[in-house]
Amino acid sequence: MSSQMERFNESLVGRYTIEREIGRGGMATVYLATDQKHGRQVAVKVILPSIAYSISGERFLREIEIAARLAHPNILPLLDSGQANGFLYHVTPYMEGETLGKRLKRERELPIADSVQIAREIADALDYAHSEGIVHRDVKPENIILSRGHALIADFGVARAIEVGGGESLTETGIVLGTPAYMSPEQASAERSLDGRSDIYSLACVVYEMLGGEPPLMGRTSVATMARRLNESPTSLRVVRQSVHPGMEEVVHKALSRLPADRYGRANEFADALAATLSGAATPAARRVDAPPVKPSFWAELKRRKVYSVGAVYVVVAWLLVQIADTAFQ
C-alpha cells in the first residue's frame, strides 16, 4: 500500500476501508473500498493532490452536492463526498463490468448496433442532466461504464466542481479540465459558459470512435488536437468504415459541428436521429438510402491503411508517372 493510500485510509477509519487502487485518470485516483456502515463495496475517487492543492474544498463539496441530486438509471449515483486529512474525495457504487474505454482498447471498433445503444443510453442521461441545468464537461469512454448490458455515465459534476472550487488558480497552474480528445471547440477555447451542446459534441466524438476506431481530429499532442478542433472538419466516417449508413454519417457530423448552433439542440435529438438511421428510416440530415457508397480518395485510402513506408512512396511516385505518361500519349 502506497504512503498516500495509507494516509488516506487512516483518515477514513470508521467509514471506509480502502482495499486497492482500481483506476487512475487525469483528475482522480480510484480505490475499491468497503463501506463499513452498509457492508458494501464502493469506489472512492480521490482528487489528485496537484489539483486539490489549487481548489477550495468547501466550494468543491458545495458544487458537487448539486450533482448528487441527479437520479437517472444511466447516471452512476454519488453516494458521499468529503474532505479528510487534506484529501478531497467522492464515493460512488462499485459496478461490475468495464469502461467503454477498456472495451475500445480491446475491440477498437464496435458493432454499429452496440454503438447506437450505448449512445442512446448516455444521451438520455445527458438530456436529463441538461434539463436540470448540469453539464458534464468530461464525456469520454473512460467515464462510461458498461454493466449488465447497459451503459452508465460517471463523474457528473466533478469537472464543474473542480472548476468552481479552483477559480483562477487552476488557470495559473496550467491545469486543463476535460480530455482534449473529446473536448468541444468551445471548451478547447476555454469558454466558461458551456451548455448541453458541448456534451453533445463530446458524445459525438465517442460515437465516432466506436464506429471508426479513434476520436475525430486527433493531433500528435493535446494542443494540436485542440487546434484541429477549432480549424478543421472531421474525416468522413464512411471513408474509415463503409458499412456506416450514409444517414448515420451525416447525423454524427452534424453533432460534430464546430458551432454549437449547428448541432442538435438536445442530446435525445442526436440519439433519436442515430436510431432512425439504424432502422433504415429517413432522417432530415441523411442522403438517400440507395445512394452509392462514398469512394475514398487515393490519398485518403493511403492514410486509412497507414501506408507511410519508403517502399510505399516509390509506389506512389510510380503510379503518378504512369498517369502522366498515359495523359501525354492520349
Q: What is the DSSP letter of 245?
A: -
Active site residue 326: no
Cβ atoms within 10 A of the Cβ of 36, count?
A: 13
- Comparison of pLDDT for 255 and 87, the residue scoring more: 255
Nearest-CA neighbor of 151 among 249, 267, 72, 230? 72
| 143 within 8 A of 159, measured Cβ to Cβ | no
Which of 35, 124, 127, 138 is the catalytic position? Answer: 138
* Local confidence band at 141 (pLDDT 50, 70, 90 cut-offs): very high
d(CA 136, CA 158): 8
In this prediction, residues 225-252 reach a mean pLDDT of: 94
- Inform me whether the pLDDT recorded for 306 exceeds 90: no
- 179: closest CA among 193, 195, 194, 199? 199
Q: Give the predicted TM-score (pTM) of the model.
A: 0.81
How far is 129 from 188, CA to CA, in rounded Å?
A: 22
For the ranges 6-20, 66-80, 95-109, the lowest mean pLDDT is seen at 6-20
The pLDDT of residue 176 is 58
Place of cell 509506389: 315
The rounded distance, in Å, linking the Cα atoms of 165 and 59 is: 5
Confidence band, pLDDT 50/70/90 cuts, at residue 319: very low
- Structural element, H or E, at residue 83: strand 80-84
Q: Are 183 and 226 in contact (CB under 8 A)?
A: yes
Q: Reply yes or no on whether the pLDDT at 322 is more than 60.
A: no
Determine the pLDDT at residue 192. Answer: 78
pLDDT in tens, 33-70: 999 999 999 999 999 888 888 787 888 888 888 888 99
What does the DSSP 8-state code read for residue 293? P
